[in-house]
Amino acid sequence: MKVVIVLISYTFVVNISCFHLPPGITTCSKSDPDFDECLRKSVEDGVYRLSTGDKHLGVVPYEPLYVAMISVDENPGATVRVAQKFLNIKIHGLSLTKVKKFKVDFDSCYIYAETLSPLVRTEAEYELKGQLLIFPVNAKGNSNVTTTNLSIEHNITCQRYMKRGKEYIHLNSYKITAKPEGITYNFDNLFEGNRRLSEQIHKTINERALAIFEEVRGVTEESYSLIFKEIGNKIFNRIPFSEIFKD
């Protein structure tokens, strides 16, 4: 199954070689006995404070997060055998994500985190073509997917490197495992004005929403992984290691 993801990109012109953490985000000392808790809280605060964007760090606003396009080829073995394209995607709710755990292995440059997003709402223009359950579908319109209590495990590998005499971190790989508690799908104009059929299909797919999610898990996790990796590297490639983690 082929997946294409196009993120929005901005270019900021700045003339400062390195930056500091934004005000209100705590720098944690590795010698602090409560280092893990300090780091967890610092990351949670950062997720919220940076959600409006930071041009110096190159971080675009992500409340809501804008994604230009996600395109997914049809999966012949799935219940939802549909080629999907989503345009002008807006993802709401990431700024209220709670960080449950955040650990760093400095020797191997490995990061592990657990997060919980209470409510994530994704709005987009959609195009669907294929077979939805037993019905052929060829539709386009507006969509809204609401996810409740989205738990995510983050597994990240990185490398440390020198730039202008200072040490930085670059995220090499970013893999997530997502577990939503509930999902509600809504697609306007799904069957070209056949309201009764649309209601029946929506009722069925929403009753089976978590099972359907398992079929598109790979697409969802790949999309979020790419987004999180890009945001993370915007920060880590601009702020020196010593500004993030004190000895």
Cβ-Cβ contacts under 8 Å for 235 (sequence gap 6 or more):
50, 57, 59
Parent domain of 231? 3-246
Give the containing element (helix H, strand E) for 38.
Answer: helix 35-49
Quick count: other Cβ atoms within 10 Å of Cβ 17? 11
Confidence band, pLDDT 50/70/90 cuts, at residue 168: very high
User: The tokens of 187 are what?
Assistant: 């697609």
- Per-residue pLDDT, averaged over 20-25, amounts to 78
Greater pLDDT, 18 or 182: 182
Task: Please tell me the predicted confidence (pLDDT) of residue 169.
Answer: 94
Model pLDDT for residues 31-85, shown as the tens digit of each residue:
899 999 999 999 999 999 989 988 878 788 889 999 899 888 877 777 678 888 9
Number of domains composing the chain: 1
Is the pTM for the entire model greater than 0.85? yes
- CATH number of the domain to which 84 belongs: 3.15.10.30
How far apart CA 20 and CA 240 sit, in angstroms, is 8
Mean of per-residue pLDDT scores for the chain: 88
Model pLDDT for residues 115-126, shown as the tens digit of each residue:
999 999 999 999
